[in-house]
Amino acid sequence: MHMETEVRVNVIKRSGEEVSFDAAKIVNAIRKANQEVDRIHRLSDYQIDAVAELIVKKVQSGTRAVGVEEIQDMVETGIMEMRGYEVAQKYVRYRYKREMARKSNTTDNGILALIDQMNEEVKQENSNKNPVINSTQRDYMAGEVSKDLTRRILLPEEIVRAHEEGIIHFHDSDYFAQREHNCDLINLEDMLQNGTVISETLIERPHSFYTACNVTTQIVAQVASNQYGGQSFSLAHLAPFVDVSRKKLRASVVEERSACQESMDDAIIDRITEMRLREEIKSGIQTIQYQLITLMTCNGQAPFVTMFMYLDEVPEGRTRDDLAMIIEEVLNQRMQGVKNEKGVWITPAFPKLIYVLDEDNITEGSKYWDLTCLAAKCTAKRMVPDYISAKVMKQLKQGNVYTCMGCRSFLTVEDSQRNPDGTNKFYGRFNQGVVTINLVDVACSADGDMDRFWSLLDERLELCHRALRCRHERLKGTVSDVAPILWQYGALARLKKGEKIDKLLYDGYSTISLGYAGLYEMCVRMLGKSHTDPQGKEFALSVMQRLNDKCREWKEAEHISYSVYGTPLESTTYKFAKCLQRRFGIIEGVTDKNYITNSYHVHVTEQINAFSKLKFEADFQKLSPGGAISYVEVPNMQNNIPAVLAVMQFIYDNIMYAELNTKSDYCEACGYDGEIEIVDDENGKLIWRCPNCGNTDQSRMSVARRTCGYIGTQFWNQGRTQEIRDRVLHMSVGTCG
């Protein structure tokens, strides 16, 4: 065969692996079918080559990777065009047999591909899971089985088809079969004050701050092994144990000094006590930070955990000052970082930190202003903490200030859920799961027709509704015994053994999330302009309002707390982009990237300053009550803390929840500690490279980037890597400096 068989366009195999297109495989497949028919009906070698050449031209003229199924369709059509009807029949029959063989056990290829590190989608679907280690692979293998059961048995065909085509995304199907849920807001106060049970062992109220920290890490690990999403706990629940230790330490100091006949001056005793207390706080926080980083749950990763730091969550006076001491120690330890295997201080991914900005810490001269300055330094060096504005949150959440369940999933304020003192209840509640609508697909399917868009949007939202109900129904009937730490021993409830969790799925105790993605690209396809344009913003907000209206409608009818959620697309950003390209081809500004935009965010390539971006996105956070977070991309700010503080003060006045994406990289090959860059290799694949020495070995570099609220440290698929490379800075080096 005298033709070029290698082309630059890739083929997407069924396993998710992308491989180079090879025309010789087409020739071989046709020849096999050709040998199955009588000689009189066979195609000539010339005809077979002609079919292959035609397909090569079609593939080369495209602008995207094509799927195996698409190529097989082209082969069938090509054979028919050569009047090889009998050969085409044999080819179709062979193709059908192969399809049936695959469906007899759909998990084999997926499992083998991930074990061999060949499945690009699976091995980098989570930027905090190392896909090489056994525990992660076991989790992924179990996930492949769960996905298979979910696709073939547990979900309606229309939901599966919509998910596979990228019309919607049914999140975390690798955990769906196990009846697990998404995110938690741990009721640590109840568990510490009233005791809990861990691995059938009674854990009573701690008698020191250090013990309380130790118990907290065990609770977090247990919770993480019984759900698949993020979880959060508040440092305010640890604060009362500082005084428990203070009293215990003081008694010990008095006893020691009395035995040694030393001065019993109260001032001296108090000073020694406080010194020892500081050391215990340091040890306790170190226990939390290091144990949470080094713990590995049953799904092969450190717990996706967030620590909440809100001074006004405890009474003013000694307890609040004690909480401030805890927060100070957390920030100092996080600024230091952790040592990697080479002994180099690096940025850890967990725990995520959230610091609340309020009247007593946001202005110079306020009581806890020094703590806020420390938080700014920590953010500049290690990307955390992130910031919640108590001022804005109270406006949006009926006077309440509380943490998200992980990176951005917020509980809704429910009048039906109250604490004994009448305040709104948040700790102990959870999220049932997420289904995301691909708004870009709605716009592309409508082909720019506005009436068609709204009609399709309603259809797709009802599809999401049915998928969300599948999540809800899957959790119904779950007995508390499957996860005692969650349902029986205080993390989420204190149900009896054998009791079902059903009552926790209704009336606001838990939420269930309608996610959305691609608001920017939706506007470009429908209006030809970004949602930062006034006309685009009006349209985008009206779409957001429709999502909220639907959630309200479903909630009133079913007493299930549906809420709109700004989806943190990680690997799904790549999946959606590839599906859009397959369905609609390349549309400039819409489908011409290997990613689509997270939720309502300003597109990563759009030039906009930090303050304008935060102000603009604040309007969209109001319409994402189920969860949202905004960010600004900044350069190295360690030498410009006033600029960081300026952003923090702007957050306080303008937006509920935001973060600064700084850079924190290290090259082990040469010791460079600046920003590792993303470049194209000779095959057009995006790789990471040290700008100082040229090192491209990922195992010899430490890279930390914010991808979905959490910091990722295990690198990313090609779509997310392209998105990271495309990000423009929202602040210059000299801003406010």
pLDDT in tens, 8-36: 567 776 555 667 788 888 898 899 889 88
What pLDDT band is residue 733 in, cutting at 50, 70 and 90? low
94 and 196 inside one domain = no
The phi and psi torsions of 313 (rounded to 5 degrees) equal -75, -15
Instruction: Say how far apart CA 516 and CA 498 lie, in whole Å.
Output: 37
**656 catalytically annotated:** no
217 and 92 inside one domain = no
pLDDT for res 128: 47
72 and 191 inside one domain = no
Instruction: Say how far apart CA 311 and CA 362 lie, in whole Å.
Output: 12
The phi and psi torsions of 621 (rounded to 5 degrees) equal -60, -35
Residue 186's closest CA among 348, 352, 388, 406? 406
A 10 A CB-CB count for 677 gives 12
Scanning the structure block, which residue is given the tokens 């001022």? 391
What pLDDT band is residue 6 in, cutting at 50, 70 and 90? very low
551: in domain: no
The average confidence (pLDDT) of the chain is 89
DSSP letters spanning 611-649: HHHHHHHHHHHTT-TTB--EEEE----TT-HHHHHHHHH
pLDDT for res 302: 72
**551 catalytically annotated:** no
User: Which of 140, 509, 565, 631 is labelled catalytic?
Assistant: 565
12: in domain: yes
Q: Which residues pair with 309 in a beta bridge?
A: 355
Helix then strand then coil, % of the chain, to nearest 5: 50, 15, 35
Q: Which residues contact 688 (CB under 8 A, 6 or more apart)?
A: 676, 677, 678, 696, 698, 701, 703, 715
pLDDT at 69 over 80: no
User: Which of 78, 84, 91, 183 is labelled catalytic?
Assistant: 183
Question: What Rg do the C-alpha atoms of the chain give, in angstroms?
Answer: 28
Cβ atoms of 186 and 233 closer than 8 Å: yes
Last-in-domain residue among 71, 104, 137: 104
Residue 593's closest CA among 608, 606, 572, 574? 574
Quick one: what percent of the chain has pLDDT higher than 70? 89
pLDDT for res 326: 98
pLDDT for res 736: 45
Plot region of 300 (φ>0 → left; ψ -120 to 50 → alpha; else → beta): left
**433 catalytically annotated:** no
Instruction: Say how far apart CA 563 and CA 226 lie, in whole Å.
Output: 23
Residue 677's closest CA among 659, 668, 665, 662? 665
Q: Which residues contact 611 (CB under 8 A, 6 or more apart)?
A: 647, 650
**67 catalytically annotated:** no
> How many helices (H) and strands (E) are present in the chain, helices listed first?
24, 24
241 and 348 inside one domain = yes
Question: What is the extent of the structural domain holding 350?
Answer: 187-396
Query: What element of type H or E holds 130?
Result: none
pLDDT in tens, 475-534: 999 999 999 999 999 999 999 999 999 999 999 999 999 999 999 999 999 999 999 999
Instruction: Say how far apart CA 709 and CA 306 lie, in whole Å.
Output: 11
pLDDT in tens, 155-182: 999 999 999 999 999 999 989 998 999 9
Burial of 219-252, coded b for 16+ CB within 10 Å and e otherwise, reads bbbbbbbbbbbbbbbbbbbbbbbbebbbebbbee
Q: Which residues contact 623 (CB under 8 A, 6 or more apart)?
A: 541, 544, 545, 547, 548, 564
pLDDT (mean) for 531-554: 98
Residue 648's closest CA among 404, 399, 390? 390
pLDDT for res 147: 87
Instruction: Say how far apart CA 233 and CA 216 lie, in whole Å.
Output: 9
The two tokens of residue 483 are 């996860």
Plot region of 609 (φ>0 → left; ψ -120 to 50 → alpha; else → beta): beta
pLDDT for res 100: 56
pLDDT at 737 over 50: no
A 10 A CB-CB count for 590 gives 22
Give the three-class secondary structure for 716. Answer: coil
**405 catalytically annotated:** yes
375: in domain: yes
The two tokens of residue 59 are 């593939």
| H-type alpha helices, 337-411 | 369-382, 390-396
Q: Which residues contact 551 (CB under 8 A, 6 or more apart)?
A: 514, 562, 563, 564, 626
**309 catalytically annotated:** no
**570 catalytically annotated:** yes
Task: Give the 3-state DSSP-derived string for 532-579, with helices as H, strands as E and coil as C.
Answer: CCHHHHHHHHHHHHHHHHHHHHHHHHHCCEEEEEECCCCCHHHHHHHH
Scanning the structure block, which residue is given the tokens 């309007």? 619
Put simply, whether the predicted model's pTM sits higher than 0.75 gets the answer yes
Cβ atoms of 704 and 665 closer than 8 Å: yes
Distances from the Cα of 64 to the Cα of 5, 578, 582, angstroms:
17, 8, 8
pLDDT at 632 over 70: yes
pLDDT (mean) for 99-112: 56
User: Which of 213, 378, 405, 522 is labelled catalytic?
Assistant: 405
Eight-class DSSP state of 13: -
537: in domain: no
Instruction: Say how far apart CA 15 and CA 119 lie, in whole Å.
Output: 6
Last-in-domain residue among 73, 104, 135: 104
pLDDT at 95 over 50: yes
What pLDDT band is residue 124 in, cutting at 50, 70 and 90? very low
Whether the bond between 385 and the residue before it is cis, its omega within 30 degrees of 0, is yes
206 and 96 inside one domain = no
pLDDT (mean) for 711-722: 78
Q: How far is CA 155 from the centre of its chain?
A: 23
pLDDT in tens, 349-404: 889 999 999 999 999 999 999 999 999 999 999 999 999 999 999 999 999 999 99
Residue 573's closest CA among 406, 433, 717, 445? 717
pLDDT (mean) for 690-695: 95
User: Which of 431, 563, 598, 661 is labelled catalytic?
Assistant: 431
pLDDT for res 112: 59
User: Which of 128, 182, 624, 661 is labelled catalytic?
Assistant: 182
Residue 355's closest CA among 326, 318, 381, 321? 326
65: in domain: yes
87 and 193 inside one domain = no
**670 catalytically annotated:** no
Distances from the Cα of 206 to the Cα of 191, 238, 241, 614, angstroms:
10, 10, 8, 42
pLDDT for res 96: 64
Give the three-class secondary structure for 260. Answer: coil
687: in domain: no
User: Which of 570, 617, 633, 659 is labelled catalytic?
Assistant: 570
274 and 391 inside one domain = yes
Q: Which of 137-141, 523-527, 713-717 has the highest mean pLDDT?
A: 523-527
pLDDT for res 341: 78
Last-in-domain residue among 361, 396, 431: 396
Burial of 524-533, coded b for 16+ CB within 10 Å and e otherwise, reads bbbbeebbbe
pLDDT at 2 over 60: no
- Amino acid at position 18, single letter: E
Range in 111-120, 288-297, 695-704 the model is least confident about: 111-120
User: Which of 407, 464, 526, 701 is labelled catalytic?
Assistant: 407
334 and 197 inside one domain = yes
68: in domain: yes
pLDDT for res 708: 65
227: in domain: yes
203 and 72 inside one domain = no
| CATH number for the domain harbouring residue 192 | 3.20.70.20
Give the three-class secondary structure for 704. Answer: coil
Structural domains of the chain, count = 2
197 and 55 inside one domain = no
pLDDT at 621 over 60: yes
**409 catalytically annotated:** yes
